[in-house]
Amino acid sequence: MSVLLGGCGGPMSALEPAGQGAADIAWITWAMLIGTGVFMLLMSAFWLHAVYRRDKRPLAIGTRFLLLGGGVVLPLIVITLLLVYGVRSGHSMLPIGEADLTVEVTAFQWYWEFEYPEVDGAQVVTTDELHLPVGQRIDFNILTADVIHSFWVPVLGGKVDAIPGRTNTLRLEPTHTGRFRGQCAEFCGALHAHMAFDVVVHEIEDFEDWLQEQAGAQR
């Protein structure tokens, strides 16, 4: 098992979440994987039983019960649960309510530019390196300077496209400090595969210090 899952960790793993949105996505991934696995085993057991049993008379369970239960009631319950969970976790990645920090993201062929709030009139901008504070709600206003790209930090949450002429906003909330990695998730030309960036999640005070330091260097 550890051999099979050996490639699933690391700084870009959606299965090792370090953010609220990614944790929601990882939870539903495991729930669906285990749920469908159990269901498949159960169905396989029924199938084996049907094929190999000696008594060929119809089962005692009514076909009506099986059809209504398996064809109407079960899908209704599963789809309703998925819908409620999906809407709730989807909303947590939308800019609803005040954010603690807003970062302007601009995608270029083939790099990323990140613009942080001004500090005493100095504008801090980084390229291919995104610095964030832990435990804060952060809105990313995502723009593109040329073609369609897609902003994605798998350990933090879902991905959102950068579309010419539009600003798309994604909210992420890092829950762990550390160094992670993001990647453009929309084919955008010859160097698309190289359009990755580092993500550094700091303690809040360390982030403030970093921002001050960068602003000081700009002056």
Single out the segment in contact with Cu ion by CB under 5 A; choices: 6-14, 72-80, 121-129, 194-202.
194-202
Bridge partners (DSSP) listed for residue 180: 199
Q: Cβ 14 to Cu ion, closest distance in Å?
A: 19
Q: Which CB, 110 or 207, lies closer to Cu ion?
A: 110
Q: Which two tokens stand for residue 93?
A: 């990645």
Q: Which CB, 177 or 183, lies closer to Cu ion?
A: 183
DSSP 142: E
Pairwise CA distance, residues 180 & 4, whole Å: 22
Residue 153 near Cu ion by CB under 5 A: no
Q: Which CB, 173 or 186, lies closer to Cu ion?
A: 186
Query: Which is it for strands 129-133 and 196-202: parallel, antiparallel or unpaired?
Result: parallel
Pairwise CA distance, residues 167 & 107, whole Å: 11
> Terminal CA-to-CA distance of the chain, rounded, Å?
54
Residue 134 near Cu ion by CB under 5 A: no
Binding string to Cu ion for residues 170 to 189, with x set by CB under 5 A, is what?
--------------x---x-
Binding residues for Cu ion, rule: CB under 5 A, are 149, 184, 188, 195
